[in-house]
Amino acid sequence: MPHDHHQHDHEHTDPPSDLELRVKALESLLVEKGLVRPETLNSIIETYEHKVGPRNGAHVVAKAWTDPEFKQALMNDATEAVASLGYCGRQGEHLEVVENTNETHNLVVCTLCSCYPWTVLGLPPAWYKSAPYRSRAVSDPRGVLEEFGTELDDKKKIRVWDSTSEMRYLVLPQRPVGTESWSEHDLQQLVSRNSMIGVELARSPEQEDEGGK
């Protein structure tokens, strides 16, 4: 449900979790022992943050754009629909898809920590976990969107969805104009992680051409 009607029902703290501390300790040990270079770790993180993880979500979005039956299943029960493609989250974690329309744009945030649909989006970006984003996404969502280069019509409503450890949200971007004949595979290239969080729109064919499609 939207942020103004949604309450977190799990405890949040700012310090890193035990798992995060263990991962950091392991990273430090690997670097200290000379078993891995810092730039190699950064490269791996970059790959999973921007390439591998979000490709799962892009597959889900592109299939929803091209397969009406799948889209209906996704809107009815996103967790089950996504699992049918082989993308399964942790037990007890549910996924809900919210669709952008001509009237409404959706934006996802976790106001008290950084709950995030890892199954379909991979690693959460640093800015998503930052306090400024978590607060301003709620108080000034239009301003946040503009900082990402996303300018919406003043008449378009922005809905902010607050994720929890039990409920994660994925934005279904609007299908770009001019892609009616595109294949599901080609459409996936237009779907970015940021568009599935809601801070950006799906790329247009023109933008994809500029990127070297």
User: What are the chain's domains?
Assistant: 16-210 (3.90.330.10)
Residue entry with tokens 């989250």 = 89
Average pLDDT value over all residues in the chain: 84
Q: What is the pTM of this model?
A: 0.77
E strand intervals along 104-173: 104-109, 157-162, 167-172
Residues constituting the chain: 213
The number of beta carbons lying within 10 Å of the beta carbon of residue 132 is: 9
More confident residue, 91 or 10: 91
More confident residue, 13 or 206: 206
Tens-place pLDDT, residues 161-203? 999 988 999 999 999 999 999 999 999 999 999 999 999 999 9
Using CA atoms, how far apart are residues 47 and 53, in angstroms rounded to an integer?
A: 8
The per-residue pLDDT for 11 is 39
Sequence letter at residue 116: Y
Dihedral of alpha carbons 190, 126, 52, 8, sign = negative
Among residues of the chain, what percentage have pLDDT more than 90?
A: 58
Q: Judge contact between 5 and 162, C-beta under 8 A.
A: no
Among residues of the chain, what percentage have pLDDT more than 70?
A: 78
Tens-place pLDDT, residues 62-76? 999 999 999 999 999
Catalytic residues: 110, 113-115
Tens-place pLDDT, residues 11-61? 343 445 565 566 667 767 777 777 777 777 676 666 665 555 689 999 999
Angstrom distances, CA of residue 127 to CA of 12, 21, 38, 184: 18, 19, 21, 30
* DSSP secondary structure letter of residue 35: S
From the list 213, 212, 192, 210, the residue with the least C-alpha distance to 202 is 192
Using CA atoms, how far apart are residues 106 and 81, in angstroms rounded to an integer?
A: 20
Structure-token pair, residue 15:
């310090």
The per-residue pLDDT for 8 is 45
The per-residue pLDDT for 92 is 56
- Report, as an integer, the average pLDDT of 145-159: 96
The per-residue pLDDT for 1 is 47
Angstrom distances, CA of residue 50 to CA of 12, 58, 63, 159: 26, 11, 20, 25
